[in-house]
């Protein structure tokens, strides 16, 4: 089983020495760097490059520079997607955003994690678990979403939150760790 195949099924894998994964990251980061260097007025070229980066994207998407991700092809973006400046997506596993998602500045989505066992961690092993963000979700600035988290439809995540566990639909959740504080509707 290749390191990429191990990653895809959620097993520990080593991305540090696997030439295929290294090359895929380099190619993606080159595209991110190109995207981040474009003028805001060059919307046609920005749209072209971001669609080369992302695995799939519907219409009406806007990702303000700077934007960084590891592979790009693991990211799915729905209709009417907006991400403010300094978006980071470590997409070793799938990251799926529904329709009408609004992301504040300085937000991060991390599918990658590292073992607690020091020997495994020092060997460079990591794991990746997918992240899913539903429809009509708003994430305030400086939110961090950790591996394996699902955020339900219509949820609002308060600024500065660290989302370590699933958030149900129609919930307002805040804090570190992020917890539901009330229901919407």
Domain boundaries, the chain: 3-183
Q: What CATH superfamily is the domain 3-183?
A: Hexapeptide repeat proteins (2.160.10.10)
Whole-number pLDDT of residue 98: 98
CB atoms within 10 A of CB 17: 9
Q: Is 24 helix (H, G, I), strand (E, B) or coil?
A: helix
Which residues participate in catalysis according to the annotation? 114
Instruction: Note the pLDDT of residue 185.
Output: 82
Query: According to the model, what pLDDT value does residue 73 have?
Result: 98
> How does pLDDT run across 127-183, given as a tens digit for each residue?
999 999 999 999 999 999 999 999 999 999 999 999 999 999 999 999 999 999 999
Predicted pLDDT at 97: 98
Q: What tokens were used for 80?
A: 């009417």
DSSP H or E stretch at residue 85: none
- Sheet with 179-183, edge to edge strand ranges: 61-63, 81-83, 102-103, 138-139, 156-157, 171-174, 179-183
Inter-axis angle of helices 43-53 and 19-37, to 10 degrees? 170
| pLDDT, position 123 | 92
Q: Determine the average pLDDT of the residues in 89-117.
A: 97
CA atoms within 13 A on the CB side of 141: 5
| The model's pTM | 0.96
Per-residue pLDDT, averaged over 1-13, amounts to 95
- Quote the CA–CA distance of 64 and 121 in Å, as a whole number: 34
pLDDT, tens digit, for every residue of 44-101? 999 999 999 999 999 999 999 999 999 999 999 999 999 999 999 999 999 999 999 9
3 state SS of 27: helix
Span 26-31, average pLDDT: 98
Smallest CA-to-CA distance from 109 within 125, 124, 92, 126 is with 92
- On the question of a cis peptide bond just before residue 164, with omega within 30 degrees of 0, the verdict is no
């Amino acid at each position: 089983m290749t390191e990429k195949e191990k990653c895809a099924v959620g097993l520990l894998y080593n991305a540090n020495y696997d030439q295929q994964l290294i090359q895929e990251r380099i190619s993606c980061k080159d595209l991110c760097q190109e995207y981040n260097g474009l003028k805001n007025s060059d919307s046609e070229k920005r749209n072209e490059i971001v669609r080369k980066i992302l695995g799939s994207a519907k219409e009406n998407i806007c990702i303000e520079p700077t934007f960084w991700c590891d592979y790009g092809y693991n990211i799915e973006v729905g209709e009417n997607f907006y991400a403010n400046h300094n978006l980071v997506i470590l997409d070793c596993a799938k990251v799926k955003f529904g329709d009408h998602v609004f992301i504040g500045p300085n937000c991060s989505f991390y599918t990658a994690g590292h073992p607690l066992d020091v020997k495994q961690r020092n060997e460079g092993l990591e794991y990746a678990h997918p992240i899913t963000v539903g429809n009509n979700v708003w994430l305030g600035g400086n939110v961090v979403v950790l591996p394996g988290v699902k955020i339900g439809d219509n949820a609002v995540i308060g600024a500065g939150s660290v989302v370590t566990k699933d958030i149900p639909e129609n919930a307002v959740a805040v804090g570190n760790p992020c917890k539901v504080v009330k229901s919407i509707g």
